[in-house]
Chain A
Amino acid sequence: MSTVAQPLPRVGPFEWALSIDHKRVAARTAALALVFFLASGFLALLMRSELAQPGLQFVSTDTYDQLFTIHGSGMIYLVVTPLALALGLYFVPLQVGAADVAAPRLASLGFWLYAGGGFTMYAGFMTSGGAGKAGWTAFYPLSGEQASPGTGMDMWIIGVALAVSGMALVAATIMLTLLRHRAPQMSITRMPPFCWATFFTCAMTVTSFPVLVVAMGLLFADRHLGPVFDTPGGPATYQHLFWFYGHPVVYVMFFPFLGVVAEVAATFSRRRLFGYPALIISLFAFTGLSMTVWAHHMFATGQVNNQYYSLTSTSLAIPAGVEYFDVIATMIGGAILLRAPMLFALGFLSLFLIGGLTGIIVGSPPLDYHVHDTYFVVAHFHYTLFGGSMMGAFAAAYYWFPKATGAMLREWLGRVQFVLLFVGVNLTFFPMFLLGYDGMQRRVADYSPNAGLTTNNALATAGAFVIAAGVLAFVVNLVVSLRRRVPAGHDPWAGQTLEWATTSPPPRLNFASLPPIRSYAPLLDLREREERAP
């Protein structure tokens, strides 16, 4: 195996921007997602500042409506989904021993559609009527021409359609890579957990994302050509189309990070993942169920079979329970190194747990009748998306940054960031459970000073600034670690999967040669064989 250390190749910005190497397309996607993360996070700080106390202090209601629309849309369409798929685009070919992604030009086109969509959506702020302001869900008729006239809403629709199309293309190329470009010895039962998680992610993406593109097309047609949804049953039909995308996407934003966390837990416990077959089967079951739960967002409409969707949604607890068991059982009896990737993995497990358990609560129609469309739900999905997905994304960042750049991230800044985010997430989002339960609906710029909501809102705002400090620590870490490089070598963590068998960063075609592949942890096999040898 040839793993001679290489100097980081000097790349001009133009070459970097136009390259179709899957690693550079993925790095571009992740970098742009980070930009949109900072922008959409900044919008959240404006919102929390406005909500710190009752009354309107900083922004008008009209501006506030744009802020929460673009904050939510940005985070889901332009940050977490692209981050989740960028990880797959970068590491799936490496983990299955492929030289490149299948259809690299298509993946690159996916990036450009995403970039175009993101800037189109944000550019809505520069129109006279402002950006889209119908929420990230854009329910009809609120998103129709009559209730939401103006170019900003159109730009939102086009932006969403472009970004979502782009991500569907990226997912298709990753899926094809997994199916057709694995190294000869890499049978599907030897695919690492992250590859499996990404495979199911891509399956959900290619099935559900096109539906939203169609819904956006129909919405645009309704606004400019003639009534589409303006019929009896039309408004509910829009919601069905939207949530047929909108619920699978929740797991698109969860699975890849679960895969990362499973691998980080195994690597930093210095042992093989526990229960590989059970984990893969549970991911499969989860994926199947995930396509059948969408209308649990519509319990309060009175127009769906609540009990069916409650049954499928609550059943998700079973595969989720298997996933938790396998990751924790991997740690038990291991030799755990609490380095930054592992800290974020533990953060993911404990915070997503709260999001998952409250998800069971909102999956019960009589309980959802109360908490639906309130801050209880806002708290629930921020525990899954920030406490879960973003913690997982940071675990991935600390774990794989050395592979992608050849340099380590600073461990102490990672620890500072972890503490700030862990405290900040709980301080921001836990009070929101109480706010929603106590009667605060979502998407409001103001609330009554006499409704008993003031203290929890002040706490949530304080927490948001703690989160901001944590994110700042990450940005500082990126800059410092790229400028004053601490060389990582090709395998700083005693990794178990093939990406650690090549140089950091990997060469253009990824591998000079491959080690033998006999399981989902080929490098661990090698080490164990060396230990056993006299």
Chain B
Amino acid sequence: MALPAESTASDFRGLFTLYMAIAIAVAVLVLAAIAYAAIRYRDREDMSPRQVRGLKQLEGVWVALVTATVVVLLVSTFRTEDRVDAVAGDPQYSVRVVAFQWGWRFSYPGSGVTVTGNTQRPPMLAVPSGVPVRFEITSRDVIHSFWVPALRFKRDAFPDRVSEFDLTVEPGVSTTGRCAEFCGLGHDGMEFELVSMERGDFDRWLKGRERRARSASGGPE
């Protein structure tokens, strides 16, 4: 059982830093080797140069190093993914997402609150901060992808199924989310605004929307 995430974005940050550090180190090493070889051995008169000794052994060391690095990267990836992909058994908060050409509908199960928007008027997606929020996502037509760049997370919305995932959002986030899977003419404008609120504030916001929704539909149920 993986530990609950501090936040989805912080999980990404740790792993990305490790990958970038290794990528930069390898890039510098290999580029330096290429530059060294090309400059040091350029334009020599020797027409039949001899083999440099010890390269065969060095190749063995190099392969062992690369293999070890691959193992380190994979272990870190699997650990992080276990946390990012973990879904709580009994989520306290959940949102249903329906993507369509070209907009989003967010609904909060049990409250009757639904927020819909399109490319002209992007909808707002309010979530409580600091707790895992369950997302159930589907599409009404083609494949879309729910991407919140600031949360470092996306998940595709397929028309033939509902996908589930949990996100933990840091407090005070107000950011733009967008569709990442090309979905036709309105793809570039298919955005939404994600706002995270303290749990108390979120509960009040949801209650307020619920009251308005009920009065708009003509009195109590």
Contacts and interface: CB of A to CB of B under 8 A. Distances in A.
B179 A441 contact: yes
B66 A317 contact: yes
B142 interface: yes
A328 B43 CA distance: 16
Interface stretch (B34-42, B88-96, B123-131, B202-210): B34-42
B52 A139 contact: no
A334 B160 contact: no
A142 interface: yes
Given A325-B62, A333-B52, A366-B81, A357 B158 contact: no
B154 A370 contact: yes
Nearest to A450: B176
Interface string A99-133: 00000000000000000000000000000000000
Interface string A358-370: 1011001111011
A324 B84 CA distance: 34
Interface string A294-318: 0000001111001100110011011
B3 interface: no
B188 A444 contact: yes
B3 to A, nearest CB: 15
B180 interface: yes
A147 B34 CA distance: 49
Contact of B145 (A306, A311, A373): A373
Contacts of A307: 77-78, 81
A318 B70 contact: yes
A147 B158 CA distance: 14
B217 interface: no
Contact of B63 (A301, A306, A321, A442): A321
Contacts of B55: 274, 329, 332
A349 interface: yes
A474 to B, nearest CB: 22
Nearest to A330: B37
B160 A231 contact: yes
A61 B181 contact: no
Contact of A357 (B23, B77, B189): B23
Contact of B153 (A139, A322, A370): A370
B162 to A, nearest CB: 10
Interface stretch (A31-39, A74-82, A233-241): A233-241
B31 interface: yes
A306 B153 CA distance: 15
A62 B185 contact: yes
B111 interface: no
Contacts of B74: 310-311, 314
A367 B16 contact: yes
Contacts of A236: 158
Interface in B151-195: 152-156, 158-161, 163, 165, 176, 178-185, 187-189
Contact of B37 (A322, A328, A372, A374): A328
A364 B62 CA distance: 22
A337 interface: yes
B40 to A, nearest CB: 8
B215 interface: no
A158 to B, nearest CB: 21
Contacts of B40: 332
B33 A328 contact: yes
Nearest to B36: A332
Nearest to A133: B184
A531 B160 contact: no
A222 interface: no
A460 to B, nearest CB: 17
Interface string B52-96: 100110110011001101100110011011001100000000000
A336 interface: yes
Contacts of B188: 61, 441, 444-447
Contact of A142 (B11, B33, B52, B142): B142
A528 interface: yes
A443 B185 contact: no
Given A232-B160, A370-B149, A441-B147, A328 B11 contact: no
B51 interface: yes
B41 A335 contact: yes
A314 B153 contact: no
A263 B36 CA distance: 20
Interface in A242-278: 269-271, 274-275, 278
A332 B152 contact: no
Contacts of A364: 15, 19, 73, 77
A442 B50 CA distance: 50
A302 B154 contact: no
B156 A321 contact: no
A169 B20 CA distance: 41
A274 B58 CA distance: 12
A139 B38 contact: no
B154 A369 contact: yes
With a 10 A CB-CB cut-off, give which of B101, B147, B165 has the most chain A CB atoms.
B147
Contact of B27 (A65, A331, A357, A442): A357
A476 B97 CA distance: 55
Given A142-B143, A300-B155, A445-B188, A233 B37 contact: no
B12 interface: yes
B120 interface: no
B66 A318 contact: yes
Nearest to B44: A335
Given A306-B81, A332-B55, A366-B15, A443 B187 contact: yes
Interface of B: 11-12, 15-16, 19-20, 23, 26-27, 30-31, 33-34, 36-38, 40-52, 55-56, 58-59, 62-63, 66-67, 69-70, 73-74, 77-78, 80-81, 84-85, 101, 141-143, 145, 147, 149-150, 152-156, 158-161, 163, 165, 176, 178-185, 187-189
10 contacts: A142-B184, A270-B49, A318-B67, A321-B66, A322-B63, A353-B27, A441-B147, A441-B180, A441-B187, A443-B182
A-B residue pairs, 7 tightest by C-beta: A439-B149, A444-B188, A333-B52, A331-B37, A335-B44, A321-B66, A370-B152
Interface of A: 61-62, 65, 134-135, 139, 141-142, 146-148, 231-236, 269-271, 274-275, 278, 300-303, 306-307, 310-311, 314-315, 317-318, 321-322, 324-326, 328-329, 331-338, 346, 349-350, 353-354, 357-358, 360-361, 364-367, 369-370, 372-374, 438-439, 441-448, 451, 527-528, 531
Given A141-B141, A360-B73, 9 more contacts: A139-B182, A326-B59, A332-B40, A332-B41, A353-B27, A372-B154, A439-B178, A441-B179, A442-B180
